[in-house]
Amino acid sequence: MRAVVLVGGLGTRLRPLTLRTPKQMLPVAGKPMIEHVLAHLAEHGVEEVVLSLGYRPDAFSRAYPDATCAGVRLVYAVEPEPLDTAGAIRFAATNAGIDERFVVVNGDVLSDIDLSDLVTFHDAAAQRSAAQASIQLVGVEDPSAYGVVSTDAEGRVSAFVEKPPAGHAPGSAINAGYYVLEPEVLERIPDGRRVNIERETFPSMVADGVLHATVAKGWWIDVGTPERYVQATLDLLDRAVGDPTVAVAPSAMVATSATVTRSALGPGCRIGRNARVEDSIVFSRAVIGNGATVRRSVIGASAVVGDAATVTGLSVIGNDTEVAGGTSLDGAVLPTPDTWAT
pLDDT tens track for 129-155: 888 999 999 887 777 777 678 888 888
Which residue has better confidence, 164 or 107? 107
Residue 37 and residue 24: Cα distance in Å, rounded?
9
Rounded to an integer, what distance in angstroms lies between the CA atom of residue 237 and that of residue 248? 11
The pLDDT of 44-48, averaged and rounded, is 92
**What's the CA gap between 307 and 303, in Å, rounded?**
13
- Amino acid, res. 272: G
Model confidence at 171, pLDDT cuts 50, 70, 90, reads low
Looking at residue 217, its pLDDT comes to: 85
Confidence of residue 333 (pLDDT cuts 50, 70, 90): very high
The total number of residues written for the chain in this structure: 342
Nearest to 126 by CA among 45, 208, 210, 1: 210
The structural domains of the chain, with segments of one domain joined by +, span: 2-222, 240-339
- Give ∠ CA 134-208-137 in degrees, rounded to 5: 25
Query: Which backbone phi and psi does 124 adopt, to 5 degrees?
Result: -65, -40
Q: What percent of the chain has pLDDT over 70?
A: 94
Give pLDDT, residue 342: 54
Cβ–Cβ < 8 Å for 77, 91: yes
What phi and psi, each to the nearest 5 degrees, are found at residue 41? -65, -40
Peptide bond preceding 170 in cis form (omega within 30 of 0): no
170 pLDDT above the threshold of 70: no
Give the architecture-level CATH label for domain 240-339: 3 Solenoid (2.160)
CA 165 vs CA 168, 334, 338: distances in Å:
5, 31, 30
Q: What are the two backbone dihedrals, phi and then psi, of residue 222, each rounded to the nearest 5 degrees?
A: -95, 110
What span, in angstroms and rounded, lies between the C-alpha atoms of 139 and 25? 27
CB atoms within 10 A of CB 23: 23
What is the CATH code of the structural domain delimited by 2-222? 3.90.550.10
Where does the pLDDT of residue 164 fall: very low under 50, low under 70, confident under 90, or very high at 90 and above? low
Confidence tier at 158 by pLDDT (50, 70, 90) = confident
Please give the pLDDT value at position 161. 74
Residue 259: count of CB within 10 angstroms of its CB = 15
pLDDT per position as a tens digit, 230-285: 999 999 988 765 555 557 888 999 999 999 999 999 999 999 999 999 999 999 99
- Say whether pLDDT at 184 is over 70: yes
pLDDT of residue 149: 82
Q: Which of 29-33, 142-146, 148-152, 319-323 has the lowest mean pLDDT?
A: 142-146
Out of 161-170, 192-201, 277-286, pick the least confident: 161-170
Answer whether residue 51 shows pLDDT above 70.
Answer: yes
Over pLDDT 90: what percentage of the chain?
Answer: 66
Q: Which of 285, 76, 307 is CA-nearest to residue 294?
A: 307
Containing 68, the helix (H) or strand (E) segment is strand 68-69
What integer pLDDT is reported at residue 72 of this predicted model?
A: 93
Q: Which amino acid is at 79?
A: E
Distance in angstroms (rounded) separating the CA atoms of residues 205 and 83: 20
Phi-psi region of 70 (alpha: psi -120 to 50; beta: other; left: phi over 0): left
Gap between the Cα atoms of 17 and 12, Å rounded = 9
Nearest to 252 by CA among 273, 237, 263, 267: 267
Residue 173 vs residue 88, higher pLDDT: 88
Mean pLDDT of the chain: 89
Alpha carbon distance, N-terminus to C-terminus of the chain: 39
pLDDT given for residue 26 in this prediction: 94
Phi first, then psi: what are they for 170, rounded to 5°?
Answer: -75, 0
pLDDT at 265: 94
Q: Which residues of 64-103 are buried (b: 16+ CB within 10 A; e: fewer)?
A: beeeebbebebbbbbbeeebbbbbbbbbbbbebebeebbb
